[in-house]
Structure 1
Amino acid sequence: MPPKSIAVIIVAAGKGERAGADGNAEPKQYRAIAGTPVLARTIAGFLAHDRITYVLPVIHADHADRYDALGLENARLMQPVHGGATRQASVLEGLKILAPLRPDRVLIQDAARPFVSPDLIERVLAGLDRHDGALPTLPVTDTIKRSLDGELVATTEDRRQLFAAQTPQGFRFGQIFSAHMRAGNVRREFTDDAEIAEWAGLRVAMVEGDRNNIKITHPEDFIRAERILMADQGFETRIGTGYDVHPFAAGDAVWLCGVKIPHTAKLQGHSDADVALHALTDAILGAIGEGDIGTHFPPSDMQWKGAASTVFLRHAGELVKERRGRIVNLDVTIVAEAPRIASHVPAMCAAIAETLGISAERVAVKATTNEKLGFIGREEGIVSMASASVEVPRTD
């Protein structure tokens, strides 16, 4: 007989600091992989399974705004609960919230494993048909050495008896809830829920894991995750270019790449006349076949008069995300005799990166003069050129 209900706890209460070693301060569960945040991917993987009744995220108390920004809505998705100081405490908080619903079974999943598959979920649930608990595992293929001091090898382990544990780990709800409540009174920190189940005397079965069910822990794991997506979905790279020119008018500053730079004039245009962001927006739109900036923001529309060009750039970035794509890199060249650009380049790269939600390492801004030739040489205006490299799912 099938279970009455199956609940899922998504453990997302950590700060994700190890994954931020590349300079990105965003907690790993809220960083994007191919345009979609890790936590959103993890939750979606369970909501896509029709046997799941409830999905409960357990988040850090300081991350409420980040979670709300995901914009997730589903009748089976419960309001998030705040976690505790440890993973074990966070899981217990989730179990307490689920207790009044009396689910038959519960799956406990790390938020940082965004590639859970329907087949993996089914294997865990099947394991629960015969045992108190079930967890996906992979055989250890490396030779494992034990050391007592971290310097000298003491012994070699028998890898035939070693397996790497993954999540989701599944249990009969009442049994694991009771085990967690008792474990909370023990002066010992358990590494995962299966260890708590083992300590409580429950029989936990191993089921076949999934090589792609990786845990995002370190910065390089994001690169690996994107490679997995590309292999699964079949991505292709598209290139777009943009060009724009604006004349000078009376004023005291120019906007370039989202940065206001003092000058003896301003750039003339319907919006803030940020010639660099206009070219860059066109480059991104071109890469995904979405026309140009005038198609989306016609100059005849007065609502865009004086508008910040970051609005246009952000819109182009959102269109990339809607196609489940990602921006690989952006390159902007500004051609002007004045003002001098070099000292503003770091701020420009940061402004573009923040607007699009990407790493500043993916953005390049360069400046050159026109060697006093033509209208640029006469300081009558500024030209900007841009290129964008975008990966999107293959459609043919």
Structure 2
Amino acid sequence: MSYPICHEEIIEDRDVTAQLDPRGDVAVLVPAAGAGVRLGPGRPKALRLLGGEPLLVHAVRRLAAAASVHTVVVAAPAADLVAVRELLAPVAPVTVVAGGVQRQASVAAALAAVPAGPEIVLVHDAARALTPPGLVESVAAAVRSGHDAVIPVLPVVDTIKEIGVGERVLGTVDRSALRAVQTPQGFRRGVLTTAHAAATDPLTDDAGLVEKLGVPVVCVPGSEHALKITRPFDLALAEHLLAMGR
């Protein structure tokens, strides 16, 4: 089994796109067909409102602000394809395809719709709506430098316990070797295509599929503003960050 190789410093939350070479060699896949049950009843999660606009609009706007991004493909709920296309048309040129029941199927559908050209493919959660364009560039640059798979990470700051039957504590996990994984995750296009073709069991992230191939996964510093909006508290926190101009 291969393990990710991680660097320790944390990326500063600033837009650094103007300092980077605008190559336009990146395609970004956005799986956005999930229901978002933990966020409470309502529309699919990517279409929930943050500051008066859907999470998906915020996410795509920030992706499009990264100079390296050539193509964005969104996998949306099949029943909302027309609505999502109309929603995103004023934001950026985006291809919208029907997503699947599971995230993995949505990513595969979006990957199949990427046109010829981009050889760097990023996969990004619509729920990480406030991800800085600079983080997109950082991941893309790491793939461009020669890595097959790259993930942004943050150190785990809480104490982690392993729990057994009856909620009994079995031990304390050494958090120095643990990282919380974010998106966008970046890949050589051929590596991601092979990983999805070989997938047998659904996993929560695409780096997990690549790890199963034995391909090394490299870590770069993540961003605290790339939080995943999963619960009502996360949405409230994102509202606060947005009000602060993040």
What is the TM-score with the length of structure 2 in the denominator?
0.85
- In the alignment, residue 211 of structure 1 is paired with which amino acid? E
Residues 26-35 or 135-144, more deviating: 26-35
Once the 2 structures are TM-superposed, how far is the Cα of residue 194 of structure 1 from its aligned partner? 0.6
More strand by share: 1
| TM-superposition CA deviations, 1:7-37 (whole Å, max 9, x none) | 00011011112112xxx51222112111111
Structure 2 residues not aligned, in runs of 5+: 1-20
**Quick check: 1:56–1:77 contact (8 Å CA) kept in 2?**
yes
**Paired residue for 2:18?**
none
The reply to whether residue 127 of structure 1 matches residue 126 of structure 2 is no
**Paired residue for 2:153?**
137
**Paired residue for 2:229?**
216
Q: 2:69 aligns with which of 31, 48, 52?
A: 52
**Paired residue for 1:40?**
57
| TM-superposition CA deviations, 1:278-332 (whole Å, max 9, x none) | xxxxxxxxxxxxxxxxxxxxxxxxxxxxxxxxxxxxxxxxxxxxxxxxxxxxxxx
CA RMSD of aligned residues (A): 1.9
Measure the CA separation in 1 of the matches of 2:208 and 2:113: 22
| TM-superposition CA deviations, 1:179-208 (whole Å, max 9, x none) | 11111xx2x221200111111111111000
Q: 1:165 aligns with which of 172, 181, 189?
A: 181
Q: 2:104 aligns with which of 88, 112, 120?
A: 88
**Paired residue for 1:107?**
122
Measure the CA separation in 1 of the matches of 2:244 and 2:91: 28
| TM-superposition CA deviations, 1:107-151 (whole Å, max 9, x none) | 100111101112211221222113111110000010100112251
- In the alignment, residue 210 of structure 1 is paired with which amino acid? S
CA 156–75 in structure 1, closer or farther in 2 if over 3 Å, else same: closer
Q: 2:242 aligns with which of 224, 229, 245?
A: 229
What is the TM-score with the length of structure 1 in the denominator?
0.54
Measure the CA separation in 1 of the matches of 2:58 and 2:104: 23
**Quick check: 2:150–2:186 contact (8 Å CA) kept in 1?**
yes
Once the 2 structures are TM-superposed, how far is the Cα of residue 94 of structure 1 from its aligned partner? 1.1
Greater relative contact order (Cα 8 A, min sep 6): structure 1 or 2?
2
**Quick check: 1:3–1:104 contact (8 Å CA) kept in 2?**
no
**Quick check: 2:149–2:187 contact (8 Å CA) kept in 1?**
yes
- In the alignment, residue 223 of structure 1 is paired with which amino acid? A
Measure the CA separation in 2 of the matches of 1:77 and 1:94: 11
**Quick check: 1:3–1:105 contact (8 Å CA) kept in 2?**
no
CA 2–219 in structure 1, closer or farther in 2 if over 3 Å, else same: closer
The reply to whether residue 11 of structure 1 matches residue 27 of structure 2 is no
Superposition pairs of residues 353-368 of structure 1, within 5 angstroms: none
**Quick check: 1:4–1:104 contact (8 Å CA) kept in 2?**
no
Measure the CA separation in 2 of the matches of 1:102 and 1:31: 33
CA 53–195 in structure 1, closer or farther in 2 if over 3 Å, else same: same
How many residue pairs end up in the alignment? 225
Percent identity between matched residues is 39
Measure the CA separation in 2 of the matches of 1:131 and 1:159: 25
Q: 1:116 aligns with which of 131, 135, 144?
A: 131
Measure the CA separation in 1 of the matches of 2:83 and 2:136: 27
**After TM superposition, which residue ranges in structure 1, 4 or more long, deviate above 3 angstroms?**
1-4, 73-76
Structure 1 residues not aligned, in runs of 5+: 234-396
Give the match's secondary structure for 1:212.
coil
**Paired residue for 2:16?**
none
Measure the CA separation in 2 of the matches of 1:166 and 1:75: 23
- In the alignment, residue 141 of structure 2 is paired with which amino acid? A
Superposition pairs of residues 1-396 of structure 1, within 5 angstroms: 5-20=25-40, 24-73=41-90, 76-78=93-95, 80-98=96-114, 100-128=115-143, 129-149=145-165, 151-183=167-199, 186=200, 188-232=201-245
| TM-superposition CA deviations, 1:35-90 (whole Å, max 9, x none) | 11100000111111121100000011122254145252466422x11111211111
